[in-house]
Chains A and B, each alone.
Chain A
Amino acid sequence: EVQLVQSGAEVKKPGESLRISCKGSGYSFTSYWISWVRQMPGKGLEWMGRIDPSDSYTNYSPSFQGHVTISADKSISTAYLQWSSLKASDTAMYYCARPPYWGQGTLVTVSS
């Protein structure tokens, strides 16, 4: 069974760094791109970018380029989404996806 299991909810302060994870199982992790999707409270889905776990090649949405970093460690079948300096506006639910499969989501709350 294919599964994408994400790390747990995070509460951070503005300016802090954060890395959340998405572990794939039940399939060849290096054979499929993984995308990250943001959903701000009460809003729609926004595609942030994706990574090819076989070589860590990435594509980013222009809206998120430079604001987040997507990476992967194929040895442990895990993709990451990270911020170096969080803002309150980063408060959202974040999903990883390898269609047709989705992770369960990670809620990130940034508040002073």
Chain B
Amino acid sequence: NFMLTQPHSVSESPGKTVTISCTRSSGSIASNYVQWYQQRPGSAPTTVIYEDNQRPSGVPDRFSGSIDSSSNSASLTISGLKTEDEADYYCQSYDSSLWVFGGGTKLTVL
């Protein structure tokens, strides 16, 4: 079993770039795909990144995902921040057949 640890909150100004980390506690981050979900207040989650770095259709290319084996972490980077990006973001990976979620990061765009 492993855990995924995310910062509780991050904040940045419109137009800037922000990176949210997701650190795996044991085992290699590269051994299972990582997904990222965006959840705006009062709404269902939506997928912004799947399989480490793939964007579903309709997700702007301002959103990108990456894996860093040296820090055993995944990252979600959002460039050209817009106020509409303000949301909670969750990373998710797999432990055998089971899903593991990070605790979520609240992104404030101010």
Contact = CB atoms under 8 A, between A and B. Distances in A.
A44 B44 contact: no
A110 B39 CA distance: 24
Interface string B44-62: 1111001000001000000
Interface in B87-108: 88, 90, 92, 97-104
Chain A contact surface mostly: strand
B46 A102 contact: yes
Contacts of B45: 37, 45, 95, 97, 102
Contact of B47 (A45, A102, A105): A102
Interface of A: 35, 37, 44-47, 50, 59, 61, 95, 97, 99-105
Given A47-B100, A59-B98, 7 more contacts: A37-B45, A44-B101, A44-B103, A99-B35, A100-B46, A100-B47, A100-B50
Contacts of B88: 44
